[in-house]
Amino acid sequence: MFWKSKKLVRSWTGRDPLPNFARSSAADEWKERGESLFNQGQFEHAEFCFERANIQDRAIQAKACRLRIVATRLPPSGARDAGFLEAGSVFIKCAKMSSGNVILARYSDAAQCLQDGSDFRGAVRSFVLAEKFPRAVSLAAEIKHYEKAMTLIRRYEAHIDIDLINRVTLDAKVYYAEKFKERE
């Protein structure tokens, strides 16, 4: 009675329309709200909305984006690397659940996270799955994994700039020549 006398609460009589917060939300409303939150960069809340709408691929994408943001905010450390690796793993899961060009975008996101988390070989694999062959070749060469770089060049030569091919090929020849000299 005290709360009613102060007009701080109101009882529902049944004649008034039911307040919006008291009705259950439809999946399409959760999806719409999730998309809005996702576009605003509020990935944790978007993930919740997508889960309520039973849209698992978008919920997983929101989770991956959230993990990437958290990792980005950490100072350089093992925890930061681990955060990027977890985000990359979730982006790969998201890619496997996706279709069309979205697959390529998610593998690209995964590759960047894996690279930021220092899993360079995993990043090379994901760049290949994202069809970003020049990035895959460059990274393989950067980590001196020339066997992989040359395999990628042979397989995807038509998609790789000739200057990159020539540079990596020369670097590989020099690398293996030096290794051969060390053995003598």
SS3 sequence of 26-44: CHHHHHHHHHHHHHCCCHH
Q: What is the pTM of this model?
A: 0.82
Q: Which two tokens stand for residue 131?
A: 């069809």
Instruction: Delimit the domains of the chain by residue range.
Output: 25-131, 133-184
The Cα–Cα gap between 2 and 174 comes to: 86
Please give the share of the chain, as a percent, with pLDDT higher than 90.
Answer: 80
Helix ranges (H only) for 54-145 are 56-73, 78-97, 101-116, 120-129, 133-142
Span 8-27, pLDDT tens digits: 666 655 555 545 555 567 89
Q: What is the average per-residue pLDDT within 84-112?
A: 96
What is the structure's pLDDT at 169? 97
Q: What is the average per-residue pLDDT within 27-36?
A: 94
The fold adopted by the segment(s) 25-131 is: 1.25.40
Q: Which two tokens stand for residue 3?
A: 């709360």
pLDDT at 184 over 90: no
Residue of 152, 124, 184 whose CA lies nearest to 169: 152
What is the structure's pLDDT at 18? 47
pLDDT at 157 over 70: yes
